[in-house]
Amino acid sequence: MHNDPTRIPTLLNALRDTWEGQPDLSLSALIGVLQNRGASYGTTDEELLGLLRELEAEHPALLRELPEQPVLISTEGPAHEVSMGGSTVVVRSSTNPDQMPSVWKYGAFRPVGPGRPLVVEDTEGFQHRLGVVSLVTVLDAQEAPDLAGLERGDIGGARWLVALEDGARAVLGQRLRVWRPEGRRATAREELRWSRILQCAVGEDMQIAPGGGAGPASLGRVTQIVLLEV
């Protein structure tokens, strides 16, 4: 019943949880997000509760354990984009896209959410302090396009980390950045134009059709693929 006052705490708690997941939004901006998802004057309380919970699941206020889907965590001080999925962590600089991403296996992490420090322990017991969380995003891997045969115009905002057999790492998005180790400390970086991904699967050579109509180019055998963004 619409005049049942016991429904109000449930709705307010859901609104609080959703807002705490995206504290950078003003209340009016959050209402705008809900309106973009179908909320209106005629929306029932049950429908609004469903929208709030859907939004909170995408940007949780507190994450105690990783869901089955990959997670992207944005931090400040220092600014990082931290991708976690399976047992793998990929750390990218938010301010310097030319910096080679770090990749390692994690063993544990503290409960995380906006305003909390991101502390992740690797499998050797070392604790990585990766800044203060500004946003947690649970990715829907099904929204990412298939890599095989992918045209550059169809990639949207998706990004992947591709690890290669020779120790090289690539971040594939609208641009393709590749870092290759040179000796023990030096790293060579190149940025490639591409028009189509011809082949990219673990155990196979990563092959692209370069932009400008040149012939196929092979980047090396793929050892790991990690979804970073969708």
Provide the residue ranges of all domains of the chain, joining segments of one domain with +: 7-57, 71-138, 142-229
Q: Is the pLDDT of residue 221 over 90?
A: yes
Least confident segment among 1-5, 46-50, 119-123: 1-5
Q: Is the pLDDT of residue 182 over 90?
A: no
Q: Is the pLDDT of residue 2 over 70?
A: no
pLDDT one-digit tens code per residue, 92-132: 999 998 999 999 999 998 999 999 999 999 999 999 999 99
- Tell me the average pLDDT across 33-43: 94
Q: Is the pLDDT of residue 1 over 60?
A: no
Q: Is the pLDDT of residue 174 over 90?
A: yes
- Tell me the average pLDDT across 144-171: 95
- Tell me the average pLDDT across 126-142: 97
Question: How does residue 213 score in pLDDT terms, banded at 50, 70 and 90?
Answer: confident
pTM: 0.91
The residue behind tokens 């990690």 is: 226
Q: Are the C-beta atoms of 162 and 224 separated by less than 8 Å?
A: yes
Using CA atoms, how far apart are residues 218 and 163, in angstroms rounded to an integer?
A: 14
Strands 186-192 and 102-109: unpaired
What is the edge-to-edge ordering of all strands in the sheet holding 159-164?
A: 186-192, 176-182, 169-172, 159-164, 217-229, 205-210, 194-199
**Average pLDDT of the chain to the nearest whole number:** 94
Element (H, E) at 11: helix 7-21
- The pLDDT, as a whole number, for residue 183 is 78
Question: How does residue 63 score in pLDDT terms, banded at 50, 70 and 90?
Answer: very high
Using CA atoms, how far apart are residues 92 and 102, in angstroms rounded to an integer?
A: 7
Q: Is the pLDDT of residue 203 over 90?
A: yes
Q: Which residue has the higher pLDDT, 4 or 166?
A: 166
Q: How far is CA 13 from CA 5, 8, 112, 191, in A?
A: 14, 9, 19, 47
